[in-house]
């Protein structure tokens, strides 16, 4: 087992060094949804990877888990191919192994931008099933705050459908956008990721000006899939 851990550590450090743009530990950790200190411990061989983190890393670098653990990838002359745009979502299932819809309550919203990739954080969220939503898609529910997207009222619950391929989001799509600085916001999205590396976020309330967010600031995108409100919308 020690051999596997040593190979994993050196392979991880090597693979990160081969990424375009001299990717830092912090940037890779943010992309994977794990802590920088955890990633550093993995690279130094001071900690064994959790099963979930091993899957994340193997998926990101498009390398079989067995090869990640056993082979010395420094001797592999094939070009490195990564799934850098493939995002691994931390999720929960019910006793019948069906995807839950986790609800992020107001008290947990402030920590979601940090905890979205933390299994313990996600496991603590209330979870439920909605029979009329598609079984083959992933949903999460968030409370709506503010007045930027009428006719939604503050306190409504918005359902989002998880988006794993951001470049394909069509202009004008309404999304829940999770960013490092703002947390979770509901906006109409205009997609300039391919040529400029940004999304432009626009409110339906014209009092709020559109603004850009860079790709590296974005942590998750959820396509608007519906909402719940205890009162009939006006406007």
Residues 70 and 117 in one domain: no
Is 114 inside any structural domain? Answer: yes
**Percentage with pLDDT > 70 across the chain:** 90
Inform me whether the pLDDT recorded for 4 exceeds 50.
no
Which pLDDT band holds residue 206 (cuts at 50, 70, 90)?
very high
Query: How far are the Cα atoms of 21, 43, 76, 100 from residue 17, in angstroms, in the given order?
Result: 9, 11, 14, 37
pLDDT at residue number 62: 78
pLDDT at residue number 37: 92
How far is 182 from 184, CA to CA, in rounded Å? 6
Give the end of a domain, one of 75, 92, 125.
75
pLDDT at residue number 59: 80
Inform me whether the pLDDT recorded for 70 exceeds 70.
yes
**Secondary structure class of 227 (helix, strand, coil):** strand
Residues 46 and 106 in one domain: no
Per-residue H/E/C for 57-113: HHHHHCCCHHHHHHCCHHHCCCCCCCCCCCCCCCCCECCCCCECEEECCHHHHHHHH
Q: What does the pLDDT look like over 130-177, one tens digit per residue?
A: 988 988 889 999 999 999 999 999 999 999 999 988 988 999 999 999
Phi, psi of 42 (to 5 degrees): -65, -45
Residues 61 and 140 in one domain: no
pLDDT at residue number 6: 64
Inform me whether the pLDDT recorded for 1 exceeds 50.
no
Residues 105 and 66 in one domain: no
Q: What does the pLDDT look like over 73-92, one tens digit per residue?
A: 887 655 555 555 545 678 88
Inform me whether the pLDDT recorded for 2 exceeds 60.
no
Range of the domain at 139: 101-228
What is the rounded average pLDDT of the residues 217-227? Answer: 95
Give the end of a domain, one of 19, 40, 75.
75
Q: What does the pLDDT look like over 104-115, one tens digit per residue?
A: 999 999 899 988
**Tokens 């990838």 belong to residue:** 73
pLDDT at residue number 227: 95
Give the end of a domain, one of 21, 41, 75.
75
The total domain count for the chain is 2
């Amino acid at each position: 087992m020690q051999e596997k851990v040593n190979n994993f550590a050196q392979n991880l450090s090597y693979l990160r060094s081969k990424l375009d743009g001299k990717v830092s530990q912090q940037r890779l950790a943010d992309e994977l949804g794990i802590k920088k200190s955890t990633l550093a411990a993995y690279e130094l061989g001071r900690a064994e990877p959790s099963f979930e983190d091993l899957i994340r890393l193997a998926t990101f670098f498009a390398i079989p888990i067995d090869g990640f653990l056993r082979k010395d990838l420094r001797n592999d002359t094939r070009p490195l191919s990564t799934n850098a745009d493939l995002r691994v979502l931390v999720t929960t299932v019910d006793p019948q192994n069906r995807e839950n819809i986790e609800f992020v309550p107001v008290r947990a919203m402030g920590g979601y931008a940090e905890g979205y990739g933390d299994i313990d954080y996600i496991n603590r969220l209330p979870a439920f099933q909605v029979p009329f939503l598609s079984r083959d898609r992933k949903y999460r529910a968030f409370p709506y705050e503010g007045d930027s997207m009428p006719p939604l009222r503050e306190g409504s619950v918005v359902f989002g459908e998880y988006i794993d391929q951001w470049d394909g989001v069509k202009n004008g799509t309404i999304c829940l956008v999770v960013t490092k600085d703002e947390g979770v916001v509901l906006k109409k999205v205009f997609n300039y990721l391919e040529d400029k590396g940004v999304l432009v976020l626009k409110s339906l309330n014209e009092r709020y000006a559109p603004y850009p967010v860079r790709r590296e600031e974005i942590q998750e995108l959820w396509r608007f899939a519906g909402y719940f409100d205890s009162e009939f919308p006006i406007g």
